[in-house]
Amino acid sequence: HFHIITSPASRCRLLAEKLVPSPSQDERLAEMDFGDWESHRWDDLRDHPDFGPYFERWCQNYLELSCPNGESYIDLQRRVLEFWADLQQSSQNAVVVTHAGVIRTLLAHLENPGSKPNFNLKLHFGEVIALRSDKNGNMKRLKPNDRT
């Protein structure tokens, strides 16, 4: 049996509900909160009269600077890794339905703790990322059709 856990975003929740009628929702699986920048294109933010100068500074230090009325990458990382630690402590097999930013954050941590996210890591819409823990609690990413 797998425990199904989803981001509360409707696009994730609706997919999770195809797996089970009432999946668990966890706010920590939400995509990064871009605050006032939500639904703006990146190219538009550079030239935006209210956001442009701060956006340029944020691009240079997105790890620590928060989006206006949103969060920083460190905020995202903190909640994603808290979720991950709780999931590992539960020892449950789980299917997690979440967003690319959350997945990149987790994979960056598993591959190199404390590292920056790999925004060049290609994740496809609906892609399944499988992780398995060894007897020492170390996680590895499984390749498609890998059952070891």
- Under the banding of pLDDT at 50, 70 and 90, the label for residue 145 is low
4: enclosing H helix or E strand:
strand 3-6
User: What rounded mean pLDDT belongs to the chain?
Assistant: 87
The Cα–Cα gap between 69 and 132 comes to 36
| Average confidence (pLDDT) over 44-50 | 90
Q: What is the pLDDT of residue 144?
A: 67
Q: State pTM to two decimals.
A: 0.84
Please indicate whether residue 141 or residue 18 has the higher confidence score (pLDDT).
18
Per residue in 51-80, pLDDT (tens digit) is 989 999 999 998 899 999 999 999 999 999
